[in-house]
Amino acid sequence: MQTMLSGFHKTMLVVQKEIKTECRSYYAMSALFMFSLTTLTAISMSIGNLQLTPQLLAVLLWIILFFSAMTGLSRVFLQEQVSGTIQTLRAYSDAQPILFGKFIYNFLLLNILTLFLLPLFVIVLNVDIYHPLLLLLIFFIGNAGIAMITTLIASMIIYTQMQSVLFTVLSFPLILPIFLFCIQLTEAVFIPDTFMLQQPLAFIFVYDLVMIGIASILFDYIWYD
């Protein structure tokens, strides 16, 4: 029990460190917000007064979220690499608190981005949301999987060249199953008479758990290599 409490305490300290670091520069937040806002504005100006189908609306929403995530979440380990404090972080804590601290931070960023983007998306594209609680659940489990995958990939490319390119290329195949099922579920949110899509929800939930397990196992080798 004491070991679990110690691990939880270290995880929360990592989260606090990430938040304080972000508050000094606002780089990740600025990148996420500016990309999503620019993309949404460009889409709105391009389509004009066209009436979009629920499927196309769902696709556009998750495309904006995905590429916005690619612009900001790759930097979760960059601060330590630039400042040369990775060894200090390794000496301070075991691998698991580092992984889950970074994961929680990325998860918080994604949820803040979602809360920023969704109202603008609804207003700008004149979208009707008929099942808001289902949409929040979709975002929660979808963002959890994306946050864990991007955290793991970011740790793998710390010392590589062209990090942003590698980050997107390596992340996309792993995020794609979540991406496709979240689009399917989000489409149902924009339709008045729909039913609970239990199988896609269950798939995303199980996929999240599998990715968390795999990341937990692999990160020990990545962090101490």
Is it the case that residue 62 has pLDDT exceeding 90?
yes
Tell me phi and psi for residue 190, to 5 degrees: -90, 10
Cα(first)–Cα(last) distance of the chain, in Å?
29
Q: What is the DSSP letter of 161?
A: S
- pLDDT tens-digit map of 111-128: 999 999 999 998 888 888
Tell the residue number behind the tokens 């990325």, with chain if given: 106
How many domains does one find in the chain?
1
Q: What is the pLDDT of residue 196?
A: 61
209: enclosing H helix or E strand = helix 198-224
Q: 20-24, 35-39, 45-49, 86-90: lowest mean pLDDT where? A: 86-90
The answer to whether 194 and 129 have CB atoms below 8 angstroms apart is no
Collapse the DSSP code of 28 into the 3-class scheme (helix H, G, I; strand E, B; otherwise coil) and give the result: helix
- Structural domain range at position 39: 2-43+52-224
